Amino acid sequence: MSNGATDSRETAKQRRVWDKSAPRYDRQIELFERLLLGDGREWLGERARGRVLEVAVGTGRSLPYYPDDVVLTGVDLSPAMLELARARAGELGREVELLEGDASHLPARDASYDTIVCELSLCTIPDPVAALAEMHRALVPGGRLLLLDHVASTWPPIYALQWILERVTIPWEGEHYTRRQLPLVEAAGFTIVESLRLKAGTLERVHATKAA
């Protein structure tokens, strides 16, 4: 069982981390995306339908990949990240509702979205179980959950390196490398439609649905 006070402190810490890193975030992630993500953002965009909520929208790097006919909302813990996402949406001429909020307490009514997207974020969200429960709550029956994240490698030498890296990244910025979201998605009551692991199992794409 999670402790509310501890969760609150971790969430506040995450907000500070992302506010501080926001001005550098796009530059820092570009190499990672070229090496590991491939067409991951396109994969997400191709599957998004209807009213779409992107959880932990960050600086809005996925905004260019959504179909023109979806209605977009983005939520993020960091006001600084949201400012950059707002600027990106303006440059794209894209109408997006951007909200400040915690993934574990989404600012969304029950059954209000057809698709929920979350990429490169469940690895840092302090309580991924609570976040997935909130995504399940906010989806309509039959709605789609689309995830893209780095996960524990299937190759032991890389897994060992990930574990060592976590000794620094978890206390420093709350980033986990040996988490895997798929079992948590299933435990949250979703049905897996497709999943794919790439790059020695370090990257996983998940398409799941809420029961109709």
Cβ atoms within 10 Å, residue 101: 17
The residue with greater pLDDT, 12 or 209, is 209
Distance CA 151, CA 189 (A): 20
| Domains present along the chain, CATH in parentheses | 4-209 (3.40.50.150)
- pLDDT of 43 reads 97
Distance CA 210, CA 112 (A): 13
Average pLDDT over the chain, rounded to an integer: 94
Kind and range of the H or E run holding 142: strand 139-150
- pLDDT of 36 reads 86
Would the pLDDT of 4 be above 90? no
Would the pLDDT of 88 be above 80? yes
Give the C-alpha distances (Å, rounded to integers) separating 52 from 45, 49, 144.
10, 7, 9
- pLDDT of 121 reads 95
- pTM as predicted: 0.93
